[in-house]
C-alpha cells in the first residue's frame, strides 16, 4: 500500500470508491459546482480549516464526502453571509460633480462666472455629507474656459487656480465629518 501524503485525505464516495483528495482539490470542486456565494479564496480557507479538523484534530485518514460537505456547509453558514442589498453594498458615499457642465453653464471663456458657480456646486454637494467629493472633467473644463484646443501654459495656470480655489473653499466651509476631495 502506498503511503498517503500529509496534505491528503481519503474520501469515500457514495458509490463505494475511495479517492485521495487535498483541500485545494475539494475547494476547486466546490467552486466549479456553481457555489458563488463566496469568493474563491474564502472557500479555499474554509475547506482547509475543515480538512485540518478531520486530519489533525480528529486524527482521521478517511472521511465520507457527505461528512466533509456537511461540516463545510456548517462552517460557511456560520459566517451568515447574506445579500446586503443595494444600500449596504457601498458604504463609501461618493458625490460627483461635472466641471464641464459648470463651464458650459458659465459660458465659454467666462472664468468670472465659473468660480462662483464652482463654489455653489461645492456647497451643494457638501450638504449630502459625502465621504468622497469628486469633481471630474478638469482638463476639458480648463480647455473650454481658456478657449484652447491644445494644452498650454495658460491652461496649466488655470487648472492650478481651479484646484487651489477648491482647496480654499473646502478649508473655509463647515463640515460635519472629514471627506476626501478628488479633482480629476
Backbone torsions φ then ψ of 136, nearest 5 degrees: -115, 160
pLDDT of residue 1: 46
**What is this structure's pTM?**
0.51
Alpha helices for the chain (secondary structure H): 23-32, 40-52, 65-78, 85-89, 99-106, 111-126, 138-146, 153-172
Inform me whether the pLDDT recorded for 77 exceeds 50: yes
Write out the H or E segment, with its range, that includes residue 63.
strand 62-64
Count of beta carbons in the 10 Å neighbourhood of residue 129: 13
Instruction: Give the neighbor-by-neighbor strand order of the sheet with 132-136.
Output: 94-98, 132-136, 180-183
Contacts of 113 (CB under 8 A, 6+ apart): 106, 107
Burial of 170 (0-12, 13-18, 19+ CB in 10 A): middle
Tell me the domain boundaries of the chain. Answer: 9-78, 89-183
The pLDDT tens digits of the residues spanning 88-141 come to 444 557 889 999 999 988 876 678 899 999 999 999 988 888 888 899 999 999
Percentage of the chain beyond pLDDT 70 is 81
pLDDT of residue 140: 93
Alpha-carbon span 105 to 4, nearest angstrom? 74
pLDDT of residue 90: 44
**β-pair partners for 180:** 132
94 to 130, 132, 169: CA distances (angstroms)? 6, 5, 19
The pLDDT tens digits of the residues spanning 8-58 come to 778 787 777 877 877 777 776 666 665 556 677 777 888 888 888 888 888
Amino acid at each position: 500500500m502506498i503511503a498517503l501524503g500529509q496534505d491528503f485525505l481519503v474520501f469515500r464516495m457514495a458509490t463505494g470508491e475511495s479517492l485521495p483528495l487535498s483541500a485545494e482539490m475539494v475547494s476547486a470542486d466546490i467552486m466549479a459546482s456553481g457555489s458563488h456565494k463566496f469568493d474563491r479564496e474564502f472557500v479555499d480557507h474554509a475547506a482547509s480549516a475543515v480538512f485540518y479538523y478531520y486530519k489533525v484534530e480528529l486524527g482521521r485518514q478517511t472521511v465520507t464526502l457527505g461528512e466533509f460537505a456537511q461540516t463545510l456547509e456548517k462552517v460557511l453558514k456560520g459566517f451568515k453571509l447574506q445579500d446586503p442589498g443595494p444600500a449596504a453594498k457601498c458604504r463609501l458615499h461618493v458625490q460627483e460633480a461635472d466641471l464641464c457642465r459648470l463651464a458650459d453653464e458659465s459660458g465659454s471663456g467666462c472664468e468670472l462666472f465659473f468660480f462662483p458657480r464652482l463654489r455653489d456646486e461645492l456647497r451643494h454637494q457638501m450638504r449630502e455629507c459625502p465621504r468622497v467629493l469628486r469633481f471630474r472633467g478638469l482638463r476639458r473644463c480648463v480647455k473650454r474656459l481658456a478657449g484652447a484646443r491644445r494644452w498650454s501654459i495658460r491652461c496649466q495656470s488655470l487648472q492650478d487656480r481651479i484646484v487651489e480655489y477648491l482647496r480654499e473653499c473646502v478649508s473655509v466651509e463647515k463640515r460635519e465629518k472629514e471627506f476626501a476631495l478628488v479633482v480629476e
